[in-house]
Chain A
Amino acid sequence: MAKKLPSVDALMIGFGWTGAIMAQELTDAGLNVLALERGAWADTSREFATTFAQDELRYFWRHDLFQTTAHDTQTIRNDASQVALPMRKLGSYLPGTNVGGAGVHWNGQTWRFLPSDFVARSHNLQRYGAAALPDTMTIQDWGVTYDELEPHYDRFERLCGISGKAGNIKGQIQPGGNPFEGPRASEYPNPPMTMSYPPTLFAEAAKGMGLHPFPQPSANMSQAYVNPLGVRLEACTYCGFCEKFACGNYSKASAQTTILPVLMNKPNFKLRTECEVTKINLDSSGKRAVSVTYVDAAGEEYEQPADLIVLCSYILNNVRLLLLSGIGAPYDPQTGQGVIGKNYAYQITSSVNLFFDDKILNPFIGAGAHGMLVDEWNGDNFDHTGLGFIGGGYVGVVQTGARPIETHPVPEGTPNWGGAFKKAIAANYLKTMSIATHGAVMSHRGNYLDLDPTYRDVYGRPLLRMTFDYTDNEHRMSDYLTDRATDIARAMKAREIRINKRKGSWDVVPYQTTHNTGGAIMGSDPATSAVNRYLQSWDVPNLFVMGSSAFPQNPGYNPTGTVAALAYASAAAITQRYLKAPGALA
């Protein structure tokens, strides 16, 4: 028997971005809040100090900040005809662990989705007709609109001190910003990052082609900033160890650098680390969550009751815990019925390398979100008639820091090793840059998450099984974006370019992006979604499920801004409405 503990008002499962945001809001509302984090405590001065944070081998290649697959992983396959095998070592995506979660090693690329992204199904049907959407494409509207989320996006951007340039303030297009973005209430809290040479060269070429380049919105600080909670962040130093690393310099917004200094001091907040929740327990009706079961680092099992439970772990763990707890009907790809595990999606990326003779680019100078981009081919910002796909992505140069084990591009035809390889790297390293494309992935009937029939984690629980592949829609879209990137690359007049299209099936080996989405999607109908527009479980109204698991499909932007906006919107619904009358929010 698990040892039963005294009840709390609200319990957070997982303590990354959404756990910290929700705990901050609910403690402000006067609740006694407990967060359970499977990983350890982590703070800047002890875990990622500037005296040792710049270590490519330790943090990226040996995964020191990431989830340990020995403890918990996913099994993976491209389609249901294959036998799923465990992802034994991390590759394509890098989930976090420990306090702060993946928000410790994120880049800080902080976007709002387009207004049309939130109504992807109805918008595309209306503009292109039913024939434009294949039968197997299962995209849905979100049940929430951009305008409804705008104040919540704004709150997160102010919490983090996002550096950027508005492109649309209350309907007025702003020079220098992204003219395609939805209307914002106000300018970004900080000016854009100072651009290094490569993004500047891209922007010049793009502008010359009549495009509208703009600085990438960034959670790296362009200047020192004190956020609304009174927490101070410092100016970014462009060290190039940001993406996939933790910031030792208090220059990248994370739970640690924006919320925890306040939250950890509140008398009505407690955090228990190295406590992994193994199940959410329901009452006999199956409609109310009464407690969670968790295991601590010593292997002791506990039952922690709570009135309100908020699931705040990574998308893949959210979906798995729902399945393991028997909450919601599991998705069946044969019938299309059921919701848990439905509409898993990802992102599709490609790039074009440029090699110059006459330009020293110092590509190691960088930050996680430090680039110039164009958004002409994102979402439905362009006419898709006759293109054979929907959706899109952004294109641009994001100079994240060319750490040399990971980034040493060589021209087409160079051998992968030997004297010619060494010579090519020595000749090109300082004079290369890369244009990236970052594309949407629509949801499809055959892409889903369920429990693996064979493989188990250290507790003996089934692993999550991921069945995923890119479809024609994604490949056509990504090829289209790559062609546009190539056009701009040619205009930049490099000595030569190298085009890296994304070909074939999704492959777990090379790192691509940690933008996994779906599986507990939001919507306006319990038959086709797991949570409502407030991220409240349709089946268990005292359970809320945060994170990108709520995305019905994955737009062409990085997810964190929307994950946080949805968390703030959910917190507002809980504190303003749910706490007064606990139950399903209409």
Chain B
Amino acid sequence: MDEPRLSRRRLLTAGAAITAVPVAAAAATFGGRDVPFKEGQANAPAAMDDTTGWIWFTDEEAAFISAAVARLIPADDLGPGAVEAGVPTFIDRQLAGPYGRGERWYMQGPWGPGLPTQGYQTRLTPAGLYRAAIKAIDAAVMRESRGGSFAKLAAADQDTFLQRLEKGDVALDGIDAKGFFAQLLQNTCEGFWSDPIYGGNRDMAGWKLIGFPGARYDNSEFVTQYGQAYPLPPVGLKGRVEWIRS
């Protein structure tokens, strides 16, 4: 056989796709009773790295994230907010992993600004976008308030600044403020309501707030209990709160 057409470099580019597919032998032939079922194997979710501290964020970045998500979903008399639910840790671990690297995404050039209807068009990965955006936000706060950073603003001023970000009404040194805000809000909601195995939704605070019962798999007996409150507490992939935090 001659040299395969795919270079090693190309294959590495393709690596995202190859690693993202389930655990199976490469290019296997199956059939005629040769079924690829392997007893005892399961493509279970990767557990969060639960070492303490930040993996992706610097301390300054973590200060911004903690301050910002505390405004997006605040702690109040209804219960814990995003910070108490572990959302900063969730976002940190997400950005340190395949999502943060944009591993599944098409990240080849050329790059153009694009129209809003064309979606994500920055060459920055999500992790890179957070780094650049937080730097630009703190620089903008510094410029406007002659010192300090977003995290050091009063809560009301933080809200005003976030509203401007949401409208795209802040110059962020080439970063799309509106796009970054939308991503931050999305990741905050993800951290607040995803399964606790990813570091957020601590003590299932997000699920308890709204009455979502989590990763339950059989609701048959409740389908026709019209208007009745669901009687069971939430459960995650690792079990109930009291089992996880014994």
Please give the residue numbers on chain A whose beta carbons come within 8 Å of chain B beta carbons, in ascending order.
Answer: 1, 3, 39-43, 45-47, 49-58, 61-64, 68-71, 73, 76-78, 82-83, 85-89, 91, 97-98, 194-197, 200, 235, 237-241, 248-249, 263-275, 295-301, 359-360, 362, 364-365, 402, 404-405, 408, 416-419, 421-423, 425-426, 429-430, 454-456, 458-460, 504-509
Q: Are B30 and A460 in contact (CB under 8 A)?
A: no
Which residues of chain B are near A56, meaning CB under 8 Å? 193-195
Which residues of chain B are near A53, meaning CB under 8 Å? 217
Further pairs besides A40-B21, A54-B214, A455-B108: 16, Cβ < 8 Å: A41-B28, A46-B22, A51-B237, A55-B237, A56-B193, A61-B190, A63-B104, A78-B117, A200-B226, A237-B217, A237-B219, A239-B217, A273-B36, A274-B27, A456-B108, A459-B10
| Pairs of residues from A and B, 4 with the lowest C-beta to C-beta distance, nearest first | A71-B17, A296-B27, A299-B6, A57-B194
Across the two chains, which residue of chain B brings its CB closest to A361? Answer: B227
Which residues of chain B are near A248, meaning CB under 8 Å? 217
Please give the residue numbers on chain B whose beta carbons come within 8 Å of chain A beta carbons, in ascending order.
Answer: 1-2, 4-6, 10-11, 13-14, 16-18, 20-24, 26-33, 35-38, 41-45, 71-74, 76, 78, 81, 98-99, 102-108, 110, 112, 114-121, 159, 162, 166, 185, 188-190, 193-195, 198, 206-207, 209-220, 222-224, 226-230, 237
Q: Are A507 and B193 in contact (CB under 8 A)?
A: no
Given that A98-B22, A296-B27, A430-B211 are contacting pairs, would A422 and B230 also be in contact in the complex, using a CB cutoff of 8 Å? no
> How many A-B contacts are there with CB distance less than 8 Å?
285
Bound CA–CA A264/B28 (angstroms): 14
Q: Are A417 and B72 in contact (CB under 8 A)?
A: yes
Bound CA–CA A21/B214 (angstroms): 35
Across the two chains, which residue of chain A brings its CB closest to B110? Answer: A454
Please report whether the interface of chain A is mostly helix, strand, loop or mixed according to DSSP.
loop
Q: Are B30 and A273 in contact (CB under 8 A)?
A: yes
Q: Are A360 and B229 in contact (CB under 8 A)?
A: yes
Partner of A269, one of B21, B31, B218, B224: B31
Across the two chains, which residue of chain A brings its CB closest to B222? Answer: A365
Q: Are A52 and B44 in contact (CB under 8 A)?
A: yes
Bound CA–CA A149/B44 (angstroms): 42
Partner of A507, one of B103, B117, B190: B117
Given that A299-B11, A362-B230, A365-B219 are contacting pairs, would A422 and B213 also be in contact in the complex, using a CB cutoff of 8 Å? no
Across the two chains, which residue of chain B brings its CB closest to A43? Answer: B37
Q: Are A68 and B104 in contact (CB under 8 A)?
A: yes
Bound CA–CA A54/B44 (angstroms): 11
Q: Are A49 and B74 in contact (CB under 8 A)?
A: no
**How many Å from the CB of A461 to the closest CB on chain B?**
11
Q: Are A54 and B185 in contact (CB under 8 A)?
A: no
